Amino acid sequence: MPDGLLVANAGGAYSPTVAEHALTMMLALIRRLPDAAIAHARQEWDRSIQRDMGSLEGRTVTMLGFGSIGVETARRLKPFGARVIAATRSASPHPLADEVVPIGDLASVLPRTDVLYACLPLGDATRGLIGRTVLDALPDHALVINVARGAVVDKTALLAALLEGRIGGAGLDVTDPEPLPADDPLWRAPNLIITPHVAGNGSAAVDQRLAAVTVDNVNRLAAGAPLTHLVTPRIMD
């Protein structure tokens, strides 16, 4: 980064909408809506989907990362009666997390995880984090949701887990690469919802939050005060 150049991001402006999108994916998969949509397209009244239907009530959602997106998601999960485990670098307690563990101890909570939810930055330590070892440690009904960056998930390992029925399903708003090529086999995987990196869109409130962050930082810059939501070179890498 050139000397003297300051870069700030949007802070938590998109977080509520991303959280809503993630929760929608969880509910759609756990209530078997993709199967219902297939039956709808065939004009079939197929009640067999009820065998595999579940509920967020009493389920455990393990979050990889617990920044503003994770917090907003936890806030929305609580009314459903879900239990939240946050796996973070600092393992700092949070009132919206029922349990917090260091990310290095993730393996200890995977066997009791019903939804594994990625909402953390991409870096050397998180690239391919959700791979064969992590997926194999999950219960076979578990869901994987990724609204972080596509490369957090090992795509080959996820595809194999879905095809072999070793997990219950997945919801991806991000893929590696983006856009996902039309001939990529991931498109044809069962129990998978893919959306084209749109989780943050669709709310007028986002624009209001973005404007507020921008105005605040412009005022801070004019006053010689520290800017908020600064992006460090390490994060940008």
Contact present, 89 and 67 (Cβ < 8 Å) = no
In the annotation, is 127 catalytic? no
- Residue 91 DSSP class: -
Choosing from 149, 166, 188, 220, which is the catalytic residue? Answer: 149
Residue 165: strand, helix, or coil: coil
In the annotation, is 149 catalytic? yes
In the annotation, is 178 catalytic? yes
Choosing from 178, 209, 220, 234, which is the catalytic residue? Answer: 178
Contact present, 221 and 214 (Cβ < 8 Å) = no
- For 13, the token pair is 């402006």
Task: Report the alpha-carbon distance of residue 37 to residue 21 in Å, rounded.
Answer: 18
Choosing from 141, 197, 220, 229, which is the catalytic residue? Answer: 197
- For 1, the token pair is 């980064």
- For 10, the token pair is 């949007």
Task: Report the alpha-carbon distance of residue 50 to residue 54 in Å, rounded.
Answer: 8
Task: Report the alpha-carbon distance of residue 144 to residue 160 in Å, rounded.
Answer: 13
Within 13 A of 203's CA, how many CA atoms are on the CB side? Answer: 17
Contact present, 21 and 146 (Cβ < 8 Å) = no
Q: Using alpha carbons only, how large is the chain's radius of gyration in Å? A: 19
Active-site residue list: 149, 178, 197
